[in-house]
Amino acid sequence: ILRGQSRLRLFLDNGVCDLSCSVLLGVVPVIRLLKLLRRFQNFQLLLRAFRLAFEAMPVLLFIWGILGLASAGALYIFEPRDNVPTLPIAIWLAVVSMTTLGYGDFYPNSTMG
């Protein structure tokens, strides 16, 4: 018991836990649980599924970017200049619309938009 109390005194300074104590008490148990997860087959299957899905991510992001630029160009062409005055605003409107955020600062006014 005395050995454990002396170790605890290293990390406690007048009853306040410092950074090394926070790491020891917060991160180490999480790492130990993650080490335990590698023994479960279902978790391994889930990791393989994430790896396969992550391989397709660059293609999806490229297609998303091309569609965003194409829709921004269409918005810039078809919207009146008083609504979408510059191409960066059209790109902002396209990105906000594609991510379904819809801030409402810019929105299409024409029948084509």
pLDDT digit string, tens, across residues 19-55: 666 667 778 788 888 888 878 888 889 889 999 999 9
Contact predicate 85/103, CB 8 Å: no
Name 16's bridge partners. Answer: 13
Confidence of residue 93 (pLDDT cuts 50, 70, 90): confident
Q: DSSP alpha helices (H): ranges in 1-113? A: 2-11, 19-22, 28-37, 41-55, 57-78, 87-98
Average pLDDT value for residue range 78-83 = 86
Region 85-113: mean pLDDT is 79
- Kindly tell me if the per-residue pLDDT of 113 is higher than 70: no
Alpha carbons 20 and 1: distance in angstroms, whole number: 21
28-to-10, 24, 38, 44, 93 alpha-carbon distances in Å = 17, 5, 16, 22, 45
Residue 6 pLDDT exceeds 60: no
- For residue 87 the two structure tokens come to 């191409």
